[in-house]
Amino acid sequence: MTRAQILMRLRRFGPLAVAAILCVAAFASGLVEHLSLEELRQRGTELQAFAREHPWACAAAYLAIYTGSVAISLPGALILSLSGGYLFGPIGGGFAAVAGATAGSTITFLVFRSAFGDALRRKSGAFVSRIAEGFKGDAFNYLLTLRLIPAFPLLAVNVAAGVMNVRGRTFLLASVLGMIPSSFVYAGIGAGLGHVFAKGGPVTMESLLSPRIYLPIIGMGVLAFLPPLWRHWRNGRAIASLDEK
């Protein structure tokens, strides 16, 4: 096998190998069982002490866990964003959440763009297909809009971007910019969890995330969708006027 062939196979199957390793590590360590608000409440004081004494080690562990969780689609991204604010404060936690979510999403994106891309382009689910169609017109603005609206699952967006073979730089830039608002909002909520835990009683996602929190984030996503919608309407008018002539 030539060097070029080896590099080609690494580019195609390297991200899949990384995702497989992360999956084995996550389930072997029991990570799935620890991604909950109750776990954060029980071990919160211990974790905050570790973050104060070993900030860089704690940040590295946090990024590894966040990246791995998103890369293999564990249902814990929101918990981890809240935990980032709880451990590192609203600013540090926001940056850490953006970095972890982007890194994990990029791994998934690369897996579905390379290893599984050809097969999924021929045969994909209706939901992913509907998302993927939007990338054909304006990939950057469309992806930015999907990132700004938390209602769209990370996995579906990452898979659709990979299936449509979106450019890596476009994916990274739109992902970072689109994840900043919600990540910092959730980190800000997480920074106040200590007071919530101190009051006792049950703590649920519904009690933390009110319409006052998520409606402005959805509003930003709608605003981001307006420029490509305007361009689409303007181009349609231009084509119609040419047809009339």
CA 65 → CA 4, 25, 83, 118, 220, distances in Å? 33, 10, 11, 30, 28
d(C-alpha 137, C-alpha 106), whole Å? 21
The reported pLDDT for the residue numbered 213 is 52
What is the number of alpha carbons within 13 Å of residue 159 lying toward its C-beta? 20
The reported pLDDT for the residue numbered 22 is 77
Low-confidence ranges of the chain (pLDDT < 70): 1, 3-15, 115-137, 200-245
DSSP string, 61-115: HHHHHHHHHHHTT-S-HHHHHHHHHHHHHHHHHHHHHHHHHHHHHHHHHHHHHHT
Instruction: Confirm if 18 and 107 have CB atoms less than 8 A apart.
Output: yes
What sign does the dihedral 239-240-241-245 (CA atoms) show? positive
d(C-alpha 49, C-alpha 27), whole Å? 26
Q: Which amino acid is at 225?
A: F
The reported pLDDT for the residue numbered 240 is 43
The reported pLDDT for the residue numbered 53 is 94
The reported pLDDT for the residue numbered 35 is 80
Quickly tell me which residue has 């979106």 as its tokens: 166
φ, ψ of residue 209 to 5 degrees: the values are -110, 95
pTM for the whole structure: 0.76
pLDDT, tens digit, 9 for 90 and up, residues 87-110 = 999 899 999 999 999 999 998 898
110's tokens: 């690369």
